Amino acid sequence: MRKIELSTIYFNKITKEKKVTESSEKIENTNRGYKLYDIMSSITTGVFFVAVIFVFLVRGVGVEGISMQPTLDNGDYVIVSSMFYEVERGDIVVISPYKDLKKPIIKRVIGVEGDVVDIDFKAHKVYVNSVELDEPYIGALTARRYDVKFPVTVPEGCYFVLGDNRNDSLDSRSSQVGFVESEAVFGKVILKMVSLGSTKNGG
């Protein structure tokens, strides 16, 4: 009789330990499930916010042509802020197709509304409000003329733009581009991402 009681007690002890172990495993599995859910939820939320940012705030734009060399090369990829930005002198902007332009162009803002822009093509110098610009970003001295006569005053709500590759850029020196209205500016370049290494003429 004593042996039976001891066996029963031992069996009950094993059963309780097994139930405790199973209960602990269930709790652990539940905790793992919650942790996995939290991770997936965080990833989903992160992806959503990144998508919102790229749809409404910034855009990726590929550079075509060599008009912005050496700053930007053909095949480069830039991030453009399309909302909540203020264009200032020296900014690089993406301009939507307008007038005779069939595709977007990327240029540097040289003058804003009210500025007087003058170019001395003999001395290869650019002046804004009678002050010579310091332009370490250009690839060559400004020598190429188009049909616009200087000096010019930038109208209200407009910008005067030039390419950094001054002798291979269609920009505000030409009436084909002229003064760029603010509504035509798609966005401001805020970051250069990668270079795909291709080279072809244009832009």
Residue 152 has a pLDDT of: 98
Q: What is the DSSP string of 164-198?
A: SSGGG--STTSTTT-SEEGGGEEEEEEEEEEE---
Q: Given a cut of 90, is residue 139 above it in pLDDT?
A: no
Cα dist. 50→65, 111, 186 in Å? 29, 34, 20
Q: Is the pTM of this model over 0.75?
A: no
CA-based nearest residue to 168, from 120, 105, 104: 105
Measure the CA–CA gap between 105 and 165, rounded to whole angstroms. 13
Domain ranges of the chain: 1-57, 63-195
**171 — pLDDT class (breaks 50, 70, 90):** very high
* Residue 123 scores a pLDDT above 60: yes
CATH says 63-195 is which class? mainly beta
Select which of 3, 13, 41, 67 is catalytic.
67
8 Å CB contact between 74 and 63: yes
User: Known catalytic residue: 42?
Assistant: no
Q: What is the pLDDT of residue 158?
A: 97
Convert the pLDDT of each residue in 30-89 to its tens digit: 556 556 656 665 565 444 444 444 444 567 788 899 999 999 999 998 989 887 788 999
Question: Which has more confidence, 171 or 81?
Answer: 171
Question: What is the distance in angstroms between the CA of the first residue and the CA of the last residue of the chain?
Answer: 101
- CA nearest neighbour of 135 among 160, 108, 113, 155: 108
Burial class (CB within 10 angstroms; exposed 0-12, middle 13-18, buried 19+) of 96: middle
Query: Which of 7, 35, 102, 107 is labelled catalytic?
Result: 107
pLDDT of residue 8: 52
pLDDT in tens, 106-122: 999 999 999 999 999 99
Does the annotation count 103 as an active-site position?
no
Q: Convert 52-82 into a string of H (helix), E (strand) and C (coil).
A: HHHHHHEEEEECCCCCCCCCCCCCEEEEEEC
